[in-house]
Structure 1
């Protein structure tokens, strides 16, 4: 008998027991189109249906007495899964005890037939040519960090502290200086005939990066990979990324998987932003995926931010990532503002910060950062000072404006006629000021000055250089033309009260990003905060703060000094998984496990702490436990049709961004 052609297929399924390659025979009529990387449909006998997947490998097999199902069909002739992307997805999934198909679902957009036909009918893209003037500009910009250009060319892992100042793009748009540095690195990489991939947290960062690249890089070589794009636009962009010509890919967290040809640079901006932490299974942070990719492809890795996360500081401390300082240190003029004698705690803005804002308004806009949006996010009983709660669902009440009927933040019901269940009082008191109430108060304090609110309900991207008070929540600050003439950081003490392991470094990141929007020499007032975090902002020594935080967490065996995995499911299943882990990995002692404790839906949750050296063995054992739990659930259900609807009874999340997740 002649050898038969066999395709090894990765099935697109979230079920852990299906996360492997399945062999299918290639019928004669599909031999020409069934090649590695294409989408296919295959029969899944255990489920009695046809599912989609991707061909990972093909080969000839000598005749053996084993039955193989035939491929059902080839969905598209386009090879959307190159070998480099499959290898990356497999490695990232193994590191996170997840499924490779979950990673590929994030990386590969849904097929759009019309966009695909248009692409196939068009000519192949030409090789991009970087203008000599743009290449010279990139060299000058990178020279601000001595040795950075050479390190990027050598494929090293680099961490830099971005210049905390505003800049202006060639077309007059105001951007952050960080965007110019990342754009210069991308242009320099493209000039060397390699691709660059840059991931940023949100659309506002993406707009700044686009402005920095405009007229510097060839227009047809800059590809935007953004989930906010329409389906056809994103699929067309993905097809261009697959082409053999180098390009610059910019986008959000899933962009780190973009399979650009001959990738020479992967850059991450502001890796401490929670938007770069993937919420979908297996929940891999963009920074961790970029580290895996750099190890596989040998590309350069650039981690940039105004602050240093403890995760990056750990890598710097073990010499896995090199730190390159700027030739000239730029530091905002930070002032620690405290209440003077005679000023009560009820005064939100100290006289020194108030005077700075008044003087700055004569020259241009002033930024006031607050903790929360809305008018009065927190209401308490006027008598006993206990937080008010909705009588229907138990959610917190808030006020939309002065004198308004309290409204539940969860169910949206009005709480007219509210009565305190503790003291029977019917009066409420505003215990906090949101962005709208702060704007109202500042409008009365500065009559005749324009007041702008910027938060989730009132998005503002840019403001002019005229006098204005901009009241913004953390992370929603607009960019001001020429920079803000003063920055006032309010509610610092309240922000630090959040029950979060990383609240210190998060606050430092929020304040540093806001301070970087100030014009050179403009005062930045941090109100009511003292201690090491205030000193780190005032002296602009965020890496030192990250190093101190990392040392404290190492003593407590908390991330990122160690890795942490969360196991959730029925108690019997979680206990069995933990027993198996301890048996397979002797160094996991009793102190390595926290819990189990009750969780939602009659489940329990346990946290497993383990060292990085044991990572591969622990995640492999966790993966095996998930498969075993899924198979046991299917066999033990005893219901008709249960074989066609298996369910996972053990959920695992590795490298939690927050231990409360």
Structure 2
């Protein structure tokens, strides 16, 4: 019997039991078009339908009389899944007990026929050239960190603390100095004919990096990757990434998988930002994906930020990452402001901070960071101080302005005729001040001064250098031309009261990022906060704070000193999954499994599995096997039989601390 050409296909399906390569015969009429990386259509005999997938590789020519189906069709001759991308997706998915198809769904855009035809008709891109002047400027920026350029060219794994000040570009645009540093690192890679991938949390950071890159490299060498792009624009950008010439990719968390040609650098900015954690299955953080990618593809790996996460510090302590300090240490002028004798205790803006703001307003803008948006984000009973709750859904009440009828933050109902459940009082009191109320109070304290609010409802990315008070929530601070002349960090004590395991680390990141927007030498006042977090900000010693956090977490076996998986399902499914883990890793300690406990309001149970990094491969493989087994038990029943129980087993590895 003549040998048959066999294609190995990954079916595009969320079903865990289909997360493997299936063999199909390549018909003679599709031999030319069916090449590795193309989209194909294949039949699924068990489902009786045709689905799309990717031809990953050729199988061994099969002369045996094995029942194999034929490829149905080749959707497009464009090879959108290179071998390097499938290898990365498979490795990342295995690390997270997930499916490779779920990773690819984040990376490979939907096919856009017009964009594809336009790309095929256009001339092939050529290798971008870096001007000698731009290369020299990039080298000068990198020289501020002795040995950094050599480390990047040598493919090292690096952790560094970014310069904490704004910087003006040649066109007059102000960006963070960190953006210029990342752009210089990407320019160094592009000059030697290698690609760079720069991963940032959101569009504000992306715009800064794109503006910085414009002064170093030609525009055709830069590719955006973000959710704001149109479908055709994103697909055209993906085709450019696949071209066999280097480029610089700048994007959000999914950009870490961009299958660029000749990887030279993967850089992740501010890895402590929760926006870099993927909410979709399998929920892999961009930091973890970058670590896997550097190990597979080589090139340099760079983690930069104004603070140091405990995750990165653990890698530094283990010798996996190498610290590259700045040649000359520089930090903002942080002042710990507290109320003085004679002032009202708990005053929101102490006299020292108030005086600094008044003085700075003579020359330019002043930033005031607050904890929450809105006017009065939370209300309490005016008599007994019990939190005011909605009588319909139990949600907290808020007020949009002074004297307004309270409304529920959950269901939006107006609380007409509200009375306290504890004391029957009908009066409420504002328990906190949001961005709008703070702006109202500061407007009365500084008459005639321009007030600007920047929060989720009133987003601002930039302000000019004219005097004014900019009241912004954490993470929504706009960039000021020339930097802020003073920064006031309010509500610090309230931020630290949040019930999160990493709240100190998060607060230090919020305050450090705001302090880095100040002009050099401008005062940064942290109001009403003391302790280790305040000392770390005042001395600008964020890595030391991260080391202290790690030392406290290690005896308690809390992440990131260990890995944690959350397993949810019915009692039967959960018992089977935990038994599979214990069977695969007998050396797991007795306290490794926490739970199971009932999930309130649902019939499911939840358990936490703690395991070391060395045990990760075995634990995740066992958990993935349990998910597949549970899915196979719930396959479509035979005709005439009642359907079985629905599969509810869910696994998520390395979840964020707030989710725990």
Provide TM-score, normalisation by structure 1: 0.98
State the alpha-carbon separation in 2 of the partners of residues 648 and 168 from structure 1.
Answer: 56
In 1, are the aligned partners of 2:374 and 2:437 still within 8 Å (CA)?
yes
Q: Match of 1:616?
A: 617
State the alpha-carbon separation in 2 of the partners of residues 639 and 112 from structure 1.
Answer: 43
State the alpha-carbon separation in 1 of the partners of residues 214 and 113 from structure 2.
Answer: 30
Q: CA deviation at 1:583?
A: 2.3
Cα 1:603–1:422 shift into 2, 3 Å: same
Q: Match of 1:656?
A: 655
Pair 1:264-2:264 in alignment: yes
- 1:296-445 equivalences in 2 (<5 Å): 296-445=296-445
Q: Match of 2:603?
A: 602
- 1:491-640 equivalences in 2 (<5 Å): 491-599=491-599, 600-634=601-635
Provide TM-score, normalisation by structure 2: 0.98
Instruction: Detail structure 1 runs of 4+ shifted over 3 Å in the superposition.
Output: 635-643
1:35-55 Cα offsets, whole Å, 9 max, x none, are 100011111111111111101
SS of equivalent residue, structure 2 residue 58: strand
Q: CA deviation at 1:150?
A: 0.5
State the alpha-carbon separation in 2 of the partners of residues 639 and 350 from structure 1.
Answer: 76
State the alpha-carbon separation in 2 of the partners of residues 230 and 400 from structure 1.
Answer: 35
Q: CA deviation at 1:345?
A: 3.5
1:501-541 Cα offsets, whole Å, 9 max, x none, are 11111000000000000000000000111011100000000
- 1:137-148 equivalences in 2 (<5 Å): 137-148=137-148
In 1, are the aligned partners of 2:169 and 2:215 still within 8 Å (CA)?
no
1:179-222 Cα offsets, whole Å, 9 max, x none, are 00000000000000000000000000000001100131011001
Q: Match of 1:188?
A: 188
Q: CA deviation at 1:580?
A: 2.1
Cα 1:538–1:636 shift into 2, 3 Å: farther
In 2, are the aligned partners of 1:82 and 1:259 still within 8 Å (CA)?
yes
State the alpha-carbon separation in 2 of the partners of residues 593 and 396 from structure 1.
Answer: 35
State the alpha-carbon separation in 2 of the partners of residues 189 and 319 from structure 1.
Answer: 24
Q: CA deviation at 1:639?
A: 7.7
In 1, are the aligned partners of 2:160 and 2:303 still within 8 Å (CA)?
yes
SS of equivalent residue, structure 2 residue 555: helix
In 2, are the aligned partners of 1:309 and 1:505 still within 8 Å (CA)?
yes
Q: CA deviation at 1:659?
A: 5.0
Cα 1:641–1:66 shift into 2, 3 Å: farther
SS of equivalent residue, structure 1 residue 519: coil
In 2, are the aligned partners of 1:582 and 1:589 still within 8 Å (CA)?
no
SS of equivalent residue, structure 2 residue 244: coil
Cα 1:637–1:403 shift into 2, 3 Å: farther
In 2, are the aligned partners of 1:633 and 1:649 still within 8 Å (CA)?
no
State the alpha-carbon separation in 1 of the partners of residues 116 and 432 from structure 2.
Answer: 53
- Worse overlay, 524-533 or 575-584: 575-584
State the alpha-carbon separation in 2 of the partners of residues 404 and 349 from structure 1.
Answer: 25
Q: Match of 1:249?
A: 249
Pair 1:33-2:33 in alignment: yes
- Worse overlay, 237-246 or 412-421: 412-421
SS of equivalent residue, structure 1 residue 237: helix
In 2, are the aligned partners of 1:15 and 1:648 still within 8 Å (CA)?
no
State the alpha-carbon separation in 1 of the partners of residues 346 and 380 from structure 2.
Answer: 16
Cα 1:604–1:475 shift into 2, 3 Å: same
1:626-657 Cα offsets, whole Å, 9 max, x none, are 111111233789986959xx953210000011
Pair 1:482-2:482 in alignment: yes
Cα 1:639–1:292 shift into 2, 3 Å: farther
In 1, are the aligned partners of 2:38 and 2:55 still within 8 Å (CA)?
yes
State the alpha-carbon separation in 2 of the partners of residues 477 and 640 from structure 1.
Answer: 60
SS of equivalent residue, structure 1 residue 556: coil
SS of equivalent residue, structure 1 residue 51: strand
Q: List runs of 5+ in structure 1 lacking aligned partners.
A: none
State the alpha-carbon separation in 1 of the partners of residues 171 and 100 from structure 2.
Answer: 42
- 1:9-24 equivalences in 2 (<5 Å): 9-24=9-24
In 1, are the aligned partners of 2:365 and 2:467 still within 8 Å (CA)?
yes
SS of equivalent residue, structure 1 residue 471: strand
In 2, are the aligned partners of 1:163 and 1:177 still within 8 Å (CA)?
yes
State the alpha-carbon separation in 2 of the partners of residues 329 and 354 from structure 1.
Answer: 29
